[in-house]
Amino acid sequence: MPKISYVDGAYYHYENSKININDRGYHFGDAVYEVVMFNENIFFDFDGHIERLFKSLSSIDITLDFSVNSLKILIKNLIKMNKASYGTVYLQVSRGIAPRNHSYKNLKLKPVLIISITEKRNDLYNKMKGVNAITLPDNRWGRPDIKTTQLLPNILAKTKAEQNNAFESIFLDENEFITEGSSSNIWILNYQNELITRGLDGKILSGITRSTIAKFAFKNKIKFVERKFSKNELYNAKEVFLTSASSFVTQIIKIDDYLINNGLVGDISNNLRETYIKTNEKL
């Protein structure tokens, strides 16, 4: 399969895709990104991801002179060039190229946009399997609501999970309330059949899949609550699942040494995943 990317206005084979050494994304993580799943001609929550991309850019004072439609055209063309049918689109925008200096005051820079495609094996319709997770203190910077490329704590947490034969690490704030996963939002269903996830209090990323699942819950008359919940509530939940752009809805059946739902996949998690996939198929 061809490996072609879009870098700062031109298409390149991967081996020729280069970023300037003075790109501020490279030096400082002064960049934001988004990941969008696609299946044939279907994008999952495309508009939500692009809207969040521009919101993240605005939060750090970057202006990207692209419309939503022009980005979609670029992405569709890139998918076609790569002959990809199922996978992810990665978009990254850095502030631009300048001599290394922390402050960006008075810098008149052209933002650098890159887009790449990763084709994956299509296991979209496979039966859901539960995964394991571990808990860790949340040691990220104070603005995880902005989707920047400053991901070192997330990388260390994800690696720690894999070292412990787990799929995800779940972050705990200073009072041992759940924030989110290293690359996901976390949900619980309690024994009062309340579907709970942390509110948008600045301590988590406003997940696009999270938002869609919340709407599904409301439409299906599942009581949806946004609030903090404790590690103890997590351990003793009826069901626990994560949501993300690349994992959709994935049930967690073991956290640390605690089995959730006796280690079985629950009906609500499974139904929400199926609803999410079927709804996007119709778009």
Question: Which residues are marked as active site?
Answer: 147
Distance from C-alpha of 185 to C-alpha of 196, rounded to nearest angstrom = 11
Sign of CA dihedral 60, 62, 67, 68: negative
Distance from C-alpha of 213 to C-alpha of 239, rounded to nearest angstrom = 15
The enclosing H or E element of 113 equals: strand 112-119
Question: Which structure tokens are listed for 219?
Answer: 């439409």
Question: Which structure tokens are listed for 72?
Answer: 């979609």
Looking at the chain, how many residues does it have? 283
Distance from C-alpha of 224 to C-alpha of 191, rounded to nearest angstrom = 13
Contact 232, 256 (CB under 8 A): no
Helices (H), the chain: 24-28, 46-59, 68-82, 152-163, 208-219, 231-235, 267-281
For the chain, how far is it from start to end, CA to CA, in angstroms? 27
Contact 115, 75 (CB under 8 A): yes
